[in-house]
Chain A
Amino acid sequence: MHSYIRPGQYVAIRLQSDQLRLIQIVPDTIVNLGRFGSFTANQIIGRPFYFTFEILDACDEAGHQLRVVSATELHAETLLAGEGDGEGDDVETGENGVPMRTNREIVDENSSQKLTLQEIEELKREAGGAGKDIVAKLLESHSAIDQKTAFSLAKYTLRKRKKYLKRFTVLPLDVGLLANYLIEERDAQRSMELRDEHIGLIGCWGNVHHSGNIEVGEGMKPHGRYAIVDETGGLVVAAMAERMGILYPHDADEEPTEEQDVPAHDVPAHDAAESQHTNAPPKPRRIRPQPMSATTNTITVIHPYSQPNLSLLKFFGYDTNNPDESHPLHTHLKSISWMQLADPNSDPLYANEPPIIPAEELAELKQSKRSAYYHKRNRWARVKAVVDEGRAGNFDGLIVSTLLEPASVLRTMVPLLAGSAPVVVYSPTVESLVELADMYSTARRTAFINKKRELELQSSEGEAVDLSSLHEEFVVDPTILLPPTLQTSRVRPWQVLPGRTHPLMTGRGGAEGYLFHGIRVLPTTQNIQAAGNVRKRRKVETTSTPISDRDVEMTS
Chain B
Amino acid sequence: MTSPFLTRNTIADKDSLALLQLRRDQIVPTILRDHDDENQGYWEGKVTNTRFGSFPHSTLIGQPWGSQIVASKVDTGSRGRTQSAKRKAEELDAEATTTGAEEEKKKPSLRAPVSAESGFLHILAPTPEAWTISLPHRTQVVYTPDYSYILHRLRARPGSTVIEAGAGSGSFTHASARAVFNGYPGTEEATKRRRLGKVCSFEFHEQRAAKVQKELRDHGLDGIVEATHRDVYEDGFLLGDPKTGKSPKANAIFLDLPAPWLALKHLTRNPPPGQESALDPESPAYLCTFSPCLEQAERTIRTMRKLSWLNISMVEVAQRRLDVKRERIGLDTEGVRGATLFPKTVEEAVAKLRSDEQRAKLIRDNRLTKDQPDYQPIAKETPFYKEKTDVPIYAQGRLTHRSEPDLRTHTSYLVFAILPRAWSEEDEQKCRDQWPSAKVVRADNEPKTSKKQMKRQAAMERAKLREEQKQSAERPQPDSGDKAEEEEIKEEETKQESTEA
A residues near B, CB below 8 A? 1-4, 7, 26-30, 40, 42-43, 45-52, 59, 62-65, 70-72, 74-75, 78-79, 85-87, 172, 174, 176, 196-197, 199-201, 203-205, 207, 209-214, 219-221, 223, 242-245, 251, 254-256, 319, 321-322, 324, 366-368, 371, 418-422, 430, 434-435, 437-438, 441, 443-444, 446-447, 482-483, 485-494, 496, 498, 501, 514, 519-524, 526-527, 530, 539-540, 543-544, 547-548, 550-556
Given known contacts A85-B306, A245-B158, A547-B52, A42 and B439 CB-to-CB distance under 8 angstroms: yes
Q: Is the interface of B mostly helix, strand, loop or mixed?
A: mixed
Residue numbers in B under 8 Å from A30 (CB-CB) = 440, 443
Given A50-B310, A492-B315: A214 touches B184 (CB 8 Å cut-off) = yes
- B294-331 contacts to A (CB < 8 Å): 294, 297-298, 301-302, 305-306, 308-326
Partner of B7, one of A40, A64, A176, A223: A223
Q: Could you tell me the distance in whole angstroms from the C-beta of B308 to the nearest C-beta in chain A?
A: 4
In residues 196-237 of chain B, which contact A (Cβ within 8 Å)?
197
B181 to chain A, nearest CB (A): 6
Q: Which residues of A contact B486 (CB under 8 A)?
A: 366-368
| Known contacts A524-B70, A551-B23; is-contact A544 B120 (Cβ 8 Å) | yes
Q: Report how far A43 CA is from B431 CA in the complex, Å.
A: 8
Are B10 and A219 within 8 A (Cβ)? yes
Report B436-452 residues with CB < 8 Å from chain A CB: 436-441, 443-444, 448, 450-452
Which 4 pairs, one residue from A and one from B, show the smallest C-beta to C-beta distance? A419-B66, A245-B158, A213-B183, A63-B438
Which residue in chain A gives the minimum CB-CB distance to B441?
A28
Contact of A219 among B11, B418, B440 (CB under 8 A): B11
A254:B399 contact, CB within 8 angstroms: no
B183 and A242 contacting across the interface, CB-CB below 8 Å:
no
Q: A64-B437, A197-B148, A204-B129 are in contact. List 11 more A-B contacts (CB 8 A).
A: A2-B284, A200-B149, A201-B148, A209-B6, A434-B401, A496-B415, A519-B21, A527-B120, A551-B24, A552-B24, A555-B323
**Known interface pairs A197-B317, A447-B392, A489-B318. Does A554 touch B298 (Cβ–Cβ under 8 Å)?**
no
> Could you mark each residue 391-420 of chain B with 1 if its beta carbon is under 8 Å from any beta carbon of chain A, else 0?
011110001110011000000010100101
**Chain B residue with the shortest CB-CB distance to A208:** B178
Once bound together, how far apart are the Cα atoms of A550 and B150, in whole Å? 32
Is B253 close to A, CB under 8 A? no
Complex-state Cα separation, A243 to B302, whole angstroms = 32
The residues of B with any CB-CB pair to A shorter than 8 Å are 2, 6-11, 21-24, 52, 64-70, 115, 117-120, 122, 124-125, 127-129, 144-145, 147-153, 155, 157-160, 175, 178-179, 181-184, 187-188, 192-195, 197, 251, 280, 282-284, 294, 297-298, 301-302, 305-306, 308-326, 338, 392-395, 399-401, 404-405, 413, 415, 418, 420-421, 423, 428, 430-432, 434-441, 443-444, 448, 450-452, 482, 485-486, 489, 500
A70 and B294 alpha carbons, distance in the complex (Å): 27
B443 touches A72 (CB 8 A): no
CB distance from B197 to the nearest CB of A (A): 8
Q: Which of A197, A204, A493 has the most CB of B within 10 A?
A: A204
> What is the minimal beta-carbon distance from B136 to any residue of chain A, in angstroms?
21
Residues of chain A contacted by B423 (CB below 8 angstroms)? 47-48, 51
A4 partner residues in chain B, CB cutoff 8 A: 421
A254 to B308, CA, bound (A): 30
Determine which of A29, A496, A523 lies in contact with B68 in the assembled complex, contact meaning CB atoms within 8 Å: A523
* Residue in chain A with minimal CB distance to B307: A71
Inter-chain contacts of B319 with A (CB < 8 A): 197, 487-490
What is the number of contacts between chain A and chain B, taking CB atoms within 8 Å? Answer: 353
Min C-beta distance of A309 to chain B, whole Å: 15
Q: Which single residue of chain A is at the shortest CB-CB distance from B175?
A: A204
B291 to chain A, nearest CB (A): 12
Q: Is the CB of B435 within 8 A of A42?
A: yes
Q: Could you tell me if B125 and A524 are in contact, using CB atoms closer than 8 angstroms?
A: no
Asked if A491 meets B23 with Cβ closer than 8 Å, knowing A3-B283, A42-B435, the reply is no
Least Cβ–Cβ distance between A26 and chain B, in angstroms: 7
Q: A212-B182, A242-B157, A486-B321 are in contact. Are A443 and B10 (CB under 8 A)?
A: no
- Nearest A residue (CB) for B127: A207
CA distance A196 to B423 in the complex (A): 30
Contact partner, B437, options A63, A176, A491, Cβ 8 Å: A63
Inter-chain contact A62/B313, CB cutoff 8 Å? no
Query: Can you sample 11 A-B contacts with CB below 8 Å?
Result: A2-B284, A79-B305, A176-B155, A207-B128, A209-B158, A243-B157, A322-B448, A420-B66, A422-B127, A490-B318, A552-B24
Q: Which residues of B contact A210 (CB under 8 A)?
A: 158, 181-183, 197
Residues of B within 8 A of A27 (CB): 435
Are B10 and A521 in touch, CB under 8 angstroms? no
B69 to chain A, nearest CB (A): 7
The reply to whether B119 and A1 contact each other, CB–CB distance below 8 Å, is no
Q: A1-B160, A430-B401, A434-B401 are in contact. Are A62 and B181 (CB under 8 A)?
A: no
Q: Are B440 and A29 in contact (CB under 8 A)?
A: yes
User: Given that A71-B308, A213-B188, A526-B115 are known contacts, is A493 also in contact with B315, CB under 8 Å in the complex?
Assistant: yes
Cβ distance B187 to chain A, nearest Cβ, rounded Å:
6
CA distance A70 to B269 in the complex (A): 14
**A544 contacts across to B, CB distance below 8 A:** 117-120
Shortest distance in angstroms between A283's beta carbon and chain B's nearest beta carbon?
A: 15
A442 CB → nearest B CB, Å? 9
In the complex, the answer to whether A524 meets B69 with C-beta atoms within 8 Å is yes
User: Are A254 and B182 neighbours in the complex by a CB distance under 8 Å?
Assistant: no
Known: A213-B184, A366-B482, A501-B298. A1 touches B159 (CB 8 A): yes
CB contact under 8 A between A487 and B314, given known A245-B182, A419-B64: no
A79 to B393 alpha-carbon distance, docked (Å): 63
**Are B117 and A530 in touch, CB under 8 angstroms?**
yes
Q: How far is the CB of A196 from chain B (nearest CB, A)?
A: 6
**In the assembled complex, which residues on chain B have CB atoms less than 8 Å from the CB atom of A530?**
117
CB distance from B433 to the nearest CB of A (A): 10
The answer to whether A434 and B182 touch across the interface, beta carbons within 8 angstroms, is no
CB distance from A71 to the nearest CB of B (A): 4
Q: Are A72 and B308 in contact (CB under 8 A)?
A: yes
Closest chain B residue to A479, Cβ basis: B68
Query: Given A28-B440, A501-B294, is A321 in contact with B282 using a C-beta cutoff of 8 Å?
Result: no
- Please report the C-alpha to C-alpha distance between residue A45 and residue B435 in the assembled complex, in whole angstroms: 7
What are the residues of chain A within 8 A of B195 when measuring CB–CB?
Answer: 254
Residue of A211, A368, A420, A447 most packed against chain B (CB within 10 A): A420
Of A63, A251, A494, A514, which one neighbours B159 at CB under 8 angstroms? Answer: A251
Q: Are B322 and A219 in contact (CB under 8 A)?
A: no
A49 and B392 CA atoms in complex are apart in Å by: 60
Pairwise interchain contact A419-B65, C-beta atoms closer than 8 A: yes
- Whether A62 contacts B431 by the Cβ 8 Å rule is no
| Residue in B7, B148, B338, B421 whose CB lies within 8 Å of A214 | B7
B194–A255 touching, CB < 8 Å: yes
Q: Across the two chains, which residue of chain A brings its CB closest to B65?
A: A420
Which residues of chain A have C-beta atoms less than 8 A from B324's C-beta? 434, 437-438, 441, 486, 554
Chain B nearest CB, measured from A531 CB (Å): 10
Instruction: Verify A488–B184 contact, CB threshold 8 A.
Output: no
**Chain A residues within an 8 Å CB radius of B436:** 42, 62-63
Complex: A45 Cα to B428 Cα, angstroms: 10
- Chain A, residue nearest B323 (CB): A554
Q: Are B145 and A489 in contact (CB under 8 A)?
A: yes
CB nearest neighbor in B for A437: B324
- Contact between A487 and B435 (Cβ–Cβ < 8 Å)? no
Contacts of A45 in B (CB 8 A): 431, 435
Q: Are B65 and A3 in contact (CB under 8 A)?
A: no
The chain A residue with its CB closest to the CB of B308 is A71
| B438 to A, closest residue via Cβ | A63
Asked whether A554 and B325 contact (CB < 8 A) given A62-B438, A214-B7, A430-B401, the answer is yes
Chain A residues near B439: list those with CB within 8 A.
28, 40, 42
Contact A491-B7, Cβ < 8 Å, known A524-B120, A544-B119 = no
Contacts of A211 in B (CB 8 A): 7
> B309: nearest residue on chain A (CB-CB)?
A71
| CB pair B67 A419 closer than 8 Å | yes
Q: Give A48 to B424 CA distance when docked, in angstroms.
A: 11
